[in-house]
Amino acid sequence: LTKLHPILNLLTIKEDRESMHSSLMQSVSGGLPSLDASRRDPSSVLDAFAAALKKRDRELSREDYIYLLAITVLSRNLASSSQRCECGLEAMKKRLAGISSAVIYDVFQVSKLLLESAAGTKENLIRATLDTCLNSSSYLFLQDVDEQNKWAWNKSLEDTVWIDAVTFLRKNECRKSK
């Protein structure tokens, strides 16, 4: 993925929801590792997906396969880290630095939905990604101004936004994982 970064815009495809669901199911390793015994993704994979979401010559669309896959993988890791370890959360914070507020908002919304699901399965994860990213009304810039300001990700607010966001996730954690 890292080597393909310069040509990712050529790899973006748009499919209908059902086809996208099937493609993502084949591409993602699992749901919440604490609930489905799947393995966590290696840091090199997470880093590559984060790099794909950072500013490029061409912004990825929320409907692009690579965008949806990146959101899915990063959200899975964020949700898992919020349950288990502070070091994983700190790594995610560094990984997400430089990514737009709207993308970070999508990652946290998908993570929240995954944590709220009773089973935390891969199916729950894919459904959360598609429900969030393919629903234009869930886009950060269509939220009210207070919500947009809450997610403003700049250097001066980075720590505050991160702490609030992680607290938000932990409040929505599914009961089985505790």
Split at pLDDT 50, 70, 90, the class of 177 is: very low
- Give the tens place of pLDDT for each residue, 62-99: 888 889 999 999 999 999 988 876 778 889 988 988 88
Answer for the pair 23, 15: CB distance below 8 angstroms, yes or no: yes
Q: Which two tokens stand for residue 84?
A: 């288990």
With a CB cutoff of 8 Å and minimum separation 6, the contacts of 20 are 65, 68, 130, 134
Q: Is the pTM of this model over 0.85?
A: no
Residue 47's pLDDT is 93
Q: Tokens 């898992």, residue?
A: 80
Residue 149, token pair as written in the block: 């300001």
Residue 131, pLDDT score? 94
Q: Name the phi and psi angles at 129, rounded to 5.
A: -65, -50
d(CA 54, CA 87): 22
Confidence of residue 12 (pLDDT cuts 50, 70, 90): low
Q: What is the pLDDT of residues 92-141, one digit of tens each?
A: 988 988 888 889 999 999 999 999 987 899 999 999 999 999 988 888 88
Question: Is residue 40 a contact partner of residue 28, using CB atoms and an 8 Å limit?
Answer: no
Contact between residue 153 and residue 100 where contact means Cβ atoms under 8 Å apart:
yes
Distance (Å, whole) CA 67 – CA 86: 26
Q: Taking the alpha carbons of 52, 156, 170, 86 in that order, is the dihedral positive or negative?
A: positive
What is the SS3 assignment for 120?
Answer: coil
pLDDT at 147 over 90: no
Q: Which two tokens stand for residue 172?
A: 């929505």
DSSP class of residue 142 equals G
Helices (H), 28-157: 33-36, 43-53, 65-84, 86-96, 101-116, 122-133, 145-150
